[in-house]
Amino acid sequence: MTPTRYQQAFILHFGEMGSRWGINRTVGQIYALLYVSESPLNADDITGALGMSRSNVSMGLKELQSWRLVRLRHLPGDRREYFSAPEDIWQILQTLVEERRKREIDPTMSMLRDALMESTVKPSDEYARHRMQDMLDLMELVTGWMNELSDLDRATVVKLMKLGGGVKKLVGVRAKPAASAAS
């Protein structure tokens, strides 16, 4: 298969953005191709479409599978492995957020927890300790919140997002009855 000119623009863009997203050019291109392909593709299809070496395609597919961004599939009567990107864009977002948290935030949270558990901190380290505590507190608050959001049903999340700044009133409203009762 050969990507159309329209698909090509998207594929090249993902290749270029790859380095900013922490993946390499070939991984970005493979993902983009699968994302805009209506049917699952096998490694030969991908090699032909993107003009890269077979081993680059294999490595790229492995990396994308480790991120859970592509799915392995089999077609009836065909022993080759096929790959596709999940249909559901919300599922993709959720996977990305989880995988990035695992790689980019979790290791730092455990490093901070270990350091903060040390009981014998010299006075000269008090400032560093206080800064590390600040960082851990914020990370725990934000990641905890994101976990809870990802457990919510999608309709609630969309409603919340569409509310935007209007959430202030809502969060405030709940506190009002108590406040007026006290006055």
Note the residues at the interface with its own copies (CB under 8 A). 4, 6-7, 9-10, 13, 17, 20-22, 35-38, 89-90, 93, 103-104, 107-108, 111, 115, 118, 121-122, 124-125, 127-129, 131-132, 134-135, 138, 141-142, 144-145, 148-149, 151-153, 156, 158-165, 167-168, 170-174
Q: How far is the CB of 77 from its own copies (least distance, A)?
A: 24
**Closer by beta carbon to its own copies, 53 or else 111:** 111
Q: How far is the CB of 79 from its own copies (least distance, A)?
A: 26
Tokens of 113: 């927890």
**Closer by beta carbon to its own copies, 11 or else 61:** 11
Minimal CA–CA distance to 43: which of 69, 65, 61, 29?
61
Count how many residues are written for the chain: 183
3-state secondary structure of 73: strand
CB-neighbour burial class of residue 124 (10 A; exposed 0-12, middle 13-18, buried 19+): exposed
**Closer by beta carbon to its own copies, 80 or else 90:** 90
Minimal CA–CA distance to 130: which of 113, 144, 116, 141?
116
Which ranges constitute the DSSP H helices of 120-165?
A: 126-151, 154-163
Q: How far is the CB of 170 from its own copies (least distance, A)?
A: 5
**Closer by beta carbon to its own copies, 79 or else 120:** 120
- Paired with 71 in beta bridges are 84
Q: How far is the CB of 90 from its own copies (least distance, A)?
A: 7
